[in-house]
């Protein structure tokens, strides 16, 4: 740390009473725990369908109106219904992730028969919930419902949580890297230096997380192209955290607040990102606010990109990859904006000790 920033830190620490210092030291962990429990529990403690998109197959407009009116009356706001003319069209919408499932009733399947199409790879809780709700709906009509999973999860990832840990590992690897070097090697946060160092770290962690979850643990098979997605994700996590580190550098001059940048960075990337990702609980079973966040935060973008590559032949890749790249480019640009305290210059290399004459014994 430079002499001016070091003096500022000393003055800040000296001017703070012991009681205030104790409070400030506990501020970071206190905020992180309160945010984590409060936000995640708010989003996921009562999962229930909330305008979950569902396609209804009907051959005629009259049949479509009758089926949708019955479903709406029975399920309320659980589903956002849309009608299609054929089962093939309904399956295509499921595979393109336009809808969470598709229902074809007796008017299409024959008297006493119905089928619901789901994609287990889009989220186990989602497909199970659709099947459960529609089973209750058809039971009262003496109709036998069959569930067909057209994009099942592999046996190695039966709960479908591997994509969540991929995204979490990649983003956190970038964020934690910045918090560590901000304390140990702050001169590396100078924009040009940091852009290069963080890029190298991101490539390493993109590979390391994929290696751990894939070849070592065996939760996913192959797909080395995920290493590139991981590098982009880790780099984004690092750049976002570096931005908050520079923005909050005046506060961080107080040693008790040295890690304060972690509050907004981890809050944005992880604490809001995990429930908004749909990795643990279907996004269509959470409050509307988190459904909105699903389309704009880095964590959902990374998770859905990985999910698309792994289970949907990259058919739904474009939008989510675009969101991730927007975050990366924006955060990279913001790290070159001159505001906050300037990171210290690299410490000078230690001079080599001069060779001293060795006395020769008489």
Burial 144-163 (b: 16+ CB within 10 A, else e): ebebeebbbbeeebeebbbb
Residues with Cβ within 8 Å of 226's Cβ and at least 6 positions away in sequence, in order, are 166, 206, 210, 214, 220, 306, 309, 310
Q: How far apart, in whole angstroms, are the C-alpha atoms of residue 186 and residue 7? A: 15
User: What is the pLDDT at residue 93?
Assistant: 96
Decide if 272 contacts 297 (C-beta within 8 A).
yes
Q: How far apart, in whole angstroms, are the C-alpha atoms of residue 182 and residue 188? A: 8
User: What is the pLDDT at residue 148?
Assistant: 97
User: What is the pLDDT at residue 344?
Assistant: 63
Q: Are residues 102 and 144 in the same domain?
A: yes
Residue 333 above 90 pLDDT?
yes
- 346 is a domain residue: no
Burial 167-192 (b: 16+ CB within 10 A, else e): bbbbbbbbbbbbbebbeeebebbbbe
Q: Are residues 61 and 179 in the same domain?
A: no
CA nearest neighbour of 237 among 281, 293, 177, 292: 177
CA nearest neighbour of 126 among 260, 233, 283: 283
- 345 is a domain residue: no
- 90 is a domain residue: yes
User: What is the pLDDT at residue 345?
Assistant: 64
Q: Are residues 240 and 261 in the same domain?
A: yes
Residue 27 above 60 pLDDT?
yes
Q: Are residues 25 and 71 in the same domain?
A: no
Domain count, the chain: 2
Residue 1 above 70 pLDDT?
no
Q: Where residue 352 falls among pLDDT bands split at 50, 70, 90?
A: very low
Decide if 57 contacts 85 (C-beta within 8 A).
yes
Q: Are residues 107 and 173 in the same domain?
A: no
Q: Are residues 115 and 239 in the same domain?
A: no
Residues 147-177 pLDDT 10s:
999 999 999 998 899 999 999 999 999 999 9
Q: Which of 152, 183, 215 corresponds to the end of one domain?
A: 152
Q: How far apart, in whole angstroms, are the C-alpha atoms of residue 185 and residue 80? A: 52
Residue 310 above 80 pLDDT?
yes
Expressed as residue numbers, the domain containing 229 is 3-44+157-334
User: What is the pLDDT at residue 270?
Assistant: 96
Give the largest CA-CA distance in the chain: 116
Question: Based on C-alpha coordinates, what's the Rg of the chain?
Answer: 27
Decide if 303 contacts 69 (C-beta within 8 A).
no
Q: Are residues 222 and 274 in the same domain?
A: yes
Residues 278-300 pLDDT 10s:
999 999 999 999 999 999 999 99
Q: Are residues 244 and 147 in the same domain?
A: no
Task: Say which CATH number the domain at 64 has.
Answer: 3.40.1710.10
Q: How far apart, in whole angstroms, are the C-alpha atoms of residue 229 and residue 301? A: 10
Q: Are residues 126 and 227 in the same domain?
A: no
Q: Are residues 107 and 242 in the same domain?
A: no
Average pLDDT over residues 96-115: 93
Residue 12 above 70 pLDDT?
no
């Amino acid at each position: 740390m430079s002499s001016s920033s070091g003096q500022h830190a000393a003055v800040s620490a000296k001017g703070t009473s012991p009681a205030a210092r104790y409070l400030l030291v506990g501020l970071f962990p206190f905020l992180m725990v309160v945010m984590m429990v409060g936000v995640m529990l708010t989003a996921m403690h009562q999962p229930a369908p909330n305008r979950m998109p569902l396609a209804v197959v009907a051959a005629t407009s009259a049949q479509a109106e009758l089926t949708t009116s019955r479903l709406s009356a029975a399920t309320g706001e659980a589903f956002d219904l849309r009608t299609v003319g054929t089962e093939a069209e309904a399956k295509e919408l499921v595979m393109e992730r336009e809808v969470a499932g598709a229902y074809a009733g007796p008017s299409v399947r024959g008297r006493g028969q119905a089928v619901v199409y789901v994609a287990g790879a889009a989220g186990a809780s989602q497909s199970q919930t659709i099947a459960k709700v529609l089973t209750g709906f058809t039971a009262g009509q003496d109709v036998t419902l069959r569930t067909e999973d057209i994009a099942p999860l592999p046996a190695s990832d039966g709960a479908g949580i591997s994509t969540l840990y991929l995204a979490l590992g990649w983003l956190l690897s970038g964020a934690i890297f910045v918090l560590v070097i901000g304390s140990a090697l702050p001169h590396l946060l100078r924009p040009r230096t940091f852009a290069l160092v963080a890029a190298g770290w991101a490539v390493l962690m993109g590979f390391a997380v994929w290696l751990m979850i894939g070849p070592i643990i065996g939760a996913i098979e192959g797909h080395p192209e995920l290493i590139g997605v991981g590098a982009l994700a880790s780099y984004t996590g690092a750049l976002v955290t570096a931005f908050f580190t520079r923005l909050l550098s005046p506060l961080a001059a107080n040693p008790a607040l040295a890690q304060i940048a972690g509050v907004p960075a981890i809050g944005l990337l992880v604490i809001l990102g995990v429930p908004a990702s749909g990795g643990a609980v279907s996004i269509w079973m959470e409050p509307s606010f988190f459904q909105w966040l699903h389309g704009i935060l880095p964590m959902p973008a990374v998770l859905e990109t990985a999910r698309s590559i792994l289970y949907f032949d990259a058919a739904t890749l474009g939008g989510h990859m675009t969101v991730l790249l927007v975050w990366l480019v924006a955060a990279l640009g913001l790290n070159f904006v001159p505001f906050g305290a300037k990171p210290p210059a690299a410490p000078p290399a230690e001079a080599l000790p001069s060779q001293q004459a060795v006395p020769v014994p008489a």
